[in-house]
Amino acid sequence: MVENQRWLDIFAHAILILGVATVAFPVYIAFVASTHTSTAFVSGTIPLTPSTSGPGNYGNVLSGGVAAQMSVPISLMLFNSMVMALLIAAGKIVISIISAFAIVYFRFPFRILAFWIIFITLMLPVEVRIVPTFAVIADLGMLNSYAGLTVPLMASATATFLFRQVFLTIPDEMMEAARIDGAGPMKFFRDILLPLSQTNIAALFVILFIYGWNQYLWPLLITTDSGYYTIVAGIKRMADVVESEPLWNYIMAVTVLAMLPPVAVVIFMQRLFIKGLVDSEK
């Protein structure tokens, strides 16, 4: 604070309150809609205050059987999303941390080439190469499987670079001491590198969990068996039919459920989340 200027403070508060309200507005509307019966939407506009049908609506979508188009229980979709997000986050971290270990602590032919191959993945987002990648998955018989949902998304240049940076800041003396004491590379990795990168791993896990949970195009394409639907991709399938039937209350209940886990992670692990976000963009 450079100087005290009351009107500027009031102005700043006003902007922030407006910002917070704008950010919360769509979620509030969705929550309110999810607590009404479907008849509330037949005519007129969306109600603006919550009603009492909330628990019933959430119970119905979680167990399925709301309507023909929404026959998959949302609890199953939540489970699939959770499996997908956890597998992607864990897989990316494991694969990247051992790659970074190899690149930093060994010298071998084609080391630079390996580094560049990993770097290239940054330039090939899935949306860009979607048709041929789908063909590969289909040829490998990986449609409708957890492996198909997660393995192709596990390569990560960002995570590899992050761990490379972390390892480069660890003093060389650590490794020299470990070698004098007779520790091999894997023992050094397990007993020294892993404990030292703990917070980085946790922070990255938070970011990658959100990334995995929010995947849309990939699960939409490779799951045709409803047993593998994830919730974010599932909403779209329901929304496609909703315009013919006023099931808005159920759609919005599903939307709220789809937001809940990643938003809770951001709010309750805010420190790790911010660290992960800032680290992974370096």
Partner 1 sequence: MQTKRTIFGNKGLPYLLLAPQLVITAIFFLWPAGQAVRQSFLREDAFGLSTTFVGLRNYRALLDSPEYLGALKVTVVFSIATVVLALGIALMLALAVDRMLRSAAPYTTMLIWPYAVAPAVAGILWWFIFNPAIGILPFVLERVWGYDWNHNLTGSDAMILVVVAAVWKQISYNFLFFVAGLQSIPTSLREAASIDGAGPFKRFWSITLPLLSPTTFFLLVVNVVYTLFDTFAIIDATTGGGPAQATTILVYKVYDDGFVGLNLGSSAAQSVILMIIVMALTFIQFRYVERKVTY
> Segment 232-251, which members bind partner 1 (CB under 8 A)?
232-233, 235-236, 239, 248, 251
131 contacts partner 1 (rule: CB under 8 A): yes
Which letter, b or e, does each residue of 152-187 get, where b requires 16 or more Cβ atoms within 10 Å of its Cβ? bbbbbbbbbbbbbebbeeeeeeebeebeeeebeeee
Name the segment binding partner 1 (CB under 8 A); options: 24-32, 50-58, 63-71, 192-200.
24-32
Sign of CA dihedral 50, 51, 52, 57: negative
- What is the C-alpha separation between 209 and 220, in angstroms, rounded? 18
For position 84 contacting partner 1 by CB under 8 A, the verdict is no
124 DSSP 8-state letter? -
Which residues from 191-220 bind partner 1, rule CB under 8 A?
210, 213-214, 216-217, 220
Does residue 166 interact with partner 1 by CB under 8 A? no
**How many residues lie near partner 1 (CB under 8 A)?**
107
Residue 127 or 225 having the CB closest to partner 1: 127
CB proximity list for 178: less than 8 A, separation 6 or greater? 187, 188, 191, 192
* Sole window of 55-63, 69-77, 154-162, 197-205 interacting with partner 1 (rule: CB under 8 A): 154-162
Counting contacts by CB under 8 A, is residue 266 touching partner 1? yes
Q: How far is the CB of 225 from partner 1 (least distance, A)?
A: 18
* Shortest distance in whole angstroms from residue 9 CB to partner 1: 6
As a three-state string, the secondary structure of 205-245 is HHHHHHHHHCCCHHHHHHCCCHHHCCHHHHHHHHHHHHCCC
Q: Minimal distance in Å, beta carbon 98 to partner 1? A: 4
The answer to whether 96 and 160 have CB atoms below 8 angstroms apart is yes
Work out whether 130 is an interface residue with partner 1 (CB under 8 A).
Answer: yes
Q: Least distance (Å) from partner 1 to the CB of residue 72?
A: 17
**Phi (first) and psi of residue 269, to 5 degrees:** -120, 45
By beta-carbon proximity to partner 1, the closer residue of 15 and 225 is 15
Query: What region, left, alpha or beta, does residue 4 occupy, with left being phi > 0 and alpha being psi -120 to 50 degrees?
Result: beta
The residue within the footprint of partner 1, chosen from 114, 192, 196, 202 (CB under 8 A), is 114
Nearest to 148 by CA among 77, 54, 215: 215
Q: Return the residue of 115, 144, 199, 202 that touches partner 1, per CB under 8 A.
A: 115
111 contributes a contact to partner 1 by CB under 8 A: yes
